Amino acid sequence: MRRLLFLPFVVIFGHSCKEATDPATAVAFTVTLDRTSATPSESVRITVTAMNISRRPITLGDGCIPVSFRVYDATGLRVGPGVGAEANIACYDEINNSIAPSGRRSYGLLWSPIENSGVATTAVPLPPGTYTIVGGLREGEGLRPVSEPVFFEVLAP
């Protein structure tokens, strides 16, 4: 009987330790846009907001801007930002990426509706249509966890 009573304590304690060391388990994301449509020649401001849903302070990565966004076409193909584009982000000041319990931190990012923007390949305007944008914590070329999707319309030039 003692083993059964002790086991739930260990599971709860183990979850708390993971929460303290892995910010991806302690944060939720939202994405907002400064406009819902644009042509490929226009820029869109994408704000990715991280919310600390834990009871402990967290730090989002050790990089300058630890969050990003992804843009997908109607088939689910990633079309933005270009693979490797985040390596071109320059930081001129140190950014405090700490978030208090129940706190928020917002990051403003710019994107133009073109494929392969920011990398050494030919930039191609995205065709008119509806695209999905999500934000989250950068992890290699992926994101985790991600926000609910936001829809964006690319207009003809």
Domain boundaries, the chain: 23-154
Tell me the range of 41-45, 76-80, 91-95, 129-133 where mean pLDDT is highest: 129-133
Kindly state the average pLDDT of the residues 88-96: 63
- For residue 63, the model assigns a pLDDT of 67
> Do 126 and 114 contact (CB within 8 A), yes or no?
yes
Residue 155 pLDDT:
96
- What single-letter amino acid sits at 1? M
Q: Is the pLDDT of residue 16 over 80?
A: no
Of 59, 67, 62, the residue nearest 107 (C-alpha): 67
What pLDDT score does 124 carry?
82
Tell me, what's the pLDDT at 56? 92
pLDDT value at 15 more than 60:
no
Tokens, residue 115: 């494929």
The confidence score (pLDDT) of residue 21 equals: 46
Q: Is 39 or 8 the better-scoring residue by pLDDT? A: 39
Position 131 scores a pLDDT of: 96
Q: What is the pLDDT of residues 47-75, one digit of tens each?
A: 999 999 999 999 887 667 888 899 999 99
pLDDT digits (tens, 9 = 90+) for 98-151: 999 999 999 998 888 887 555 556 678 899 999 999 999 988 778 888 999 999
If one looks up domain 23-154 in CATH, what number appears? 2.60.40.2970
Q: How far apart are the C-alpha atoms of 147 and 29, rounded to whole Å?
A: 5
CA 7 to chain CA mean position, Å:
35
The pTM of the full predicted model, rounded to 2 decimals, is 0.78
Whose CA is closest to 83, among 115, 107, 55? 115
Bridging pattern class, strands 104-111 and 114-115: unpaired
User: What is the sign of the dihedral through the CA atoms of 80, 121, 67 and 76?
Assistant: positive
